Amino acid sequence: MRVVLSDDHAAHVPTGELYLGELVRPFECPERWEHVVAALDAAGLEDRTSPDPLDLVGVEAVHDAAYVQFLRTFWDDWTAAGNTADAIPTMFPVRGLRHDRVPDDVEGRLGYFAIAAETSITAGTWRAASAAAAIAQTGQRLVSDGEDVAFALCRPPGHHASADQFGGYCFLNNAAIAAHGLRVDGADRVAVLDVDFHHGNGTQSIFWERPDVFFASLHGHPADAFPHFLGWEDEVGAGDGAGATLNLPLPRGTGFDAWGEALEVACGAISRFGAEALVVSLGVDTFAGDPISFFRLATDDYLAVGRRIAALGLPTLYVMEGGYAVAEIGTNTVNVLVGHLGG
């Protein structure tokens, strides 16, 4: 299995996260990447590839160009305005406020392009986020060129990033960029299977009206789990994309038996869709010990996850998303990959 990765992830090191009324050390931290690499080493998955240069055309195929420009330049604008701390959004264009004007003020622009206040922009955010997108693009090209399976070790993650907003630790939607790239490189139909605990609201919104990309997600029920305002069962796509979205929200305390049944439903739907290639948004925050989630999967369960996904028989790119039990993230992630390879 080819693994695509870059040390550039370490450029994004936010100093604080607003969590339940407190400013805490961010759950999304550089050590997550390090534990995954250590587990890859232990499993003998040592076929490593550095990413090709970022293809901005591919990024802007799923992201608004003005949003991409915001990410590229915002830190310079933030510091030019006299700010030195991480940029944390505090004001949003919510109900009753206008969405059609982008403020000139840096604080206003920050809130305009954000969905939540837990995610900050730092001096190295664009470097890390653009590297993560390049990693996903490189992994996608490996699969398009004939690899059966590849792993894009992206950090920061991406599935909460919509066409023009960041949040949930995500800035560029790595999985969506890869899925679109698979289409461009010849796959008529592509599926995105999101197994992260949190709903991939950004991925869903990007492909909401597209009939050529099927999005399936099993996740904590939005009545109880972030991002709260998307991921309900009745969201199935719209326009030409009607029927190409499948949401399988699950309640608190869900263990592997019920979660595995939902995975079966998702895999069946992907097969019926006729997907020719698959992107997996691989989050392992479904783990019982995850500090910000409420499912009950065990480490050995992730082997079965990989085996079931492999049984789809599709060229597959795994794209790293969440997982915040830092000591266990490596083994849990690599178990999925080992399971896919038949272990």
Please confirm, yes or no, whether 9 is among the known catalytic residues. Answer: no
How far is residue 115's CA from residue 161's CA, in Å, rounded to a whole number?
Answer: 9
CB crowding 171-194: b at 16 or more within 10 Å, else e = bbbbbbbbbbbbbeeebebbbbbb
Contact (CB, 8 A) for 181 and 144: yes
How far is residue 13's CA from residue 3's CA, in Å, rounded to a whole number?
Answer: 23
Catalytic residue among 9, 63, 159, 160: 160
Alpha-helix runs per DSSP H in 16-116? 30-42, 56-60, 65-80, 106-112
Minimal CA–CA distance to 300: which of 292, 283, 288?
288
How far is residue 59's CA from residue 306's CA, in Å, rounded to a whole number?
Answer: 28
Contact (CB, 8 A) for 183 and 198: no
E-assigned strand segments in 114-226: 149-152, 190-194, 213-220
Minimal CA–CA distance to 280: which of 140, 134, 130, 132?
140
In this structure, the dihedral spanned by the alpha carbons of residues 56, 30, 164 and 242, taken in order and rounded to 10 degrees, is 100
Radius of gyration (C-alpha) of the chain in whole angstroms: 18
Q: Return the active site residues.
A: 160
